[in-house]
Structure 1
Amino acid sequence: MNTDALVLRDIHMPPAPSWWPPAPGWWLVAALVIAALVITVAWRARESRRKRRIAQWFDRQLDAAGTPTAQVAAMSELLRRASRRQDPLADRLEGEDWLTFLDDAPRVAGRSKRKRVVPVSRPFSEGAGRLLLDGAYRREVDGAQVDALRRLARERFLKWMGAW
């Protein structure tokens, strides 16, 4: 046997694996990413619908009240309901204490009652919110005052209900 006739070849590597189809682990990662995206989109859509329904509920309640005095009474009732989310006893406050709570509660939520933060503006105690004290008991209420109170009350209501 002639050894010169044998040609020795170097070791050949097998071809690289193709990128498709991916390994089962990559399918699992893709499924988890897609599931996370679907859950996130569904959760955001649900939250958006919930916030929209809360705002519509506020508007429907006020639209159902025919007169401006009835609208003031409806705003007072809605704010008292929402205030229970800040403090369970808040709906029992009256007069100036109620207006002070409406001004201060968003700024001291989650803090001790002893730590009072004085707000920069006091729209309920010194502004359009004062109509809540006696507006529901008047014979006639100015429509412009009711509109100003409605904007203020709607903002506070949506904030307390978590729809802001």
Structure 2
Amino acid sequence: MNDPLAQLKDIHLPPTVSWWPPAPGWWLLALLVLGAAVWLVRYLRRHAARPHLGREVEAELNKIETAWREHRDDARLAAELSALLRRMAISLYPQADVAGMTGETWLQWLDAHYGEDIFEKGEGRALLENAYRPDASLDDPEALIALVRRWVEKAVREANHA
């Protein structure tokens, strides 16, 4: 008679699982990794340049101080310190907020970012009064250099913590 085993059919395996398209979990993981990479690049761009900025500004400030010790030109010192502060402020803060400031507004802005009224009512006022006067005479040029140095250090420190 009929052999029942002969009527059996061969085993049919399911098709192999394709690697494409990936499961939804892999899509989610890819989005998370991509988002983390974008965040890391933006973070490094924003924070990696700032320590270099501090060193560069410090080196520029040292050059200005050395040049002043050689020529003792107070007007040139005030103009160079003012320009250095402005360049640094533009590199750390939105250019639209800083670039157009002059006079009292500029000194008030420097004070607001320093935390004291040392520019508007103190030794920093010399930046406004003597920067473009050919007969400029600073009362205490070394104190002005020290003030600018402290402002730079504080601005870089705050920028690194932002």
Q: TM-score, normalised by structure 1?
A: 0.53
Q: How many residue pairs get matched?
A: 104
More helix per residue? 2
Counterpart of 1:93 (choices 86, 91, 101) is 101
Unaligned runs of 5+ in 1: 1-46, 107-118
Distance verdict in 2 for CA 1:105–1:53, change over 3 Å: closer
Q: SS of 1:159's equivalent?
A: helix
Unaligned runs of 5+ in 2: 1-50
**Residue aligning to 2:64:** 61
Query: Runs of 4 or more off by more than 6 Å in structure 1?
Result: none
Task: Say yes or no: does 1:156 pair with 2:151.
Answer: yes
Alpha-carbon distance between aligned partners in 1 of 2:102 and 2:88, rounded to the nearest angstrom:
15
Counterpart of 1:83 (choices 65, 85, 89) is 89
Alpha-carbon distance between aligned partners in 1 of 2:147 and 2:56, rounded to the nearest angstrom:
19
> What amino acid is the match of 2:120?
S
Counterpart of 2:134 (choices 139, 144, 163) is 139
Distance verdict in 2 for CA 1:57–1:131, change over 3 Å: same
Q: SS of 2:80's equivalent?
A: helix
Alpha-carbon distance between aligned partners in 1 of 2:53 and 2:148, rounded to the nearest angstrom:
19
What per-residue deviation string (whole Å, max 9, x for no partner) do you get for residues 108-130 of structure 1?
A: xxxxxxxxxxx4x3000100111
1:148 shift after superposition: 1.8
Sequence identity (%)? 28
Q: TM-score, normalised by structure 2?
A: 0.54
1:63 shift after superposition: 2.5
1:61 shift after superposition: 2.8
Q: SS of 2:99's equivalent?
A: helix
> What amino acid is the match of 1:86?
Y
1:31-50 aligned within 5 A: none
Distance verdict in 2 for CA 1:82–1:53, change over 3 Å: closer
1:133 shift after superposition: 1.1
Q: SS of 2:135's equivalent?
A: coil
1:143 shift after superposition: 4.5
Alpha-carbon distance between aligned partners in 1 of 2:146 and 2:78, rounded to the nearest angstrom:
12
Alpha-carbon distance between aligned partners in 2 of 1:62 and 1:91, rounded to the nearest angstrom:
24
1:151 shift after superposition: 1.0
1:3-14 aligned within 5 A: none
1:159 shift after superposition: 2.5
Alpha-carbon distance between aligned partners in 1 of 2:62 and 2:139, rounded to the nearest angstrom:
17
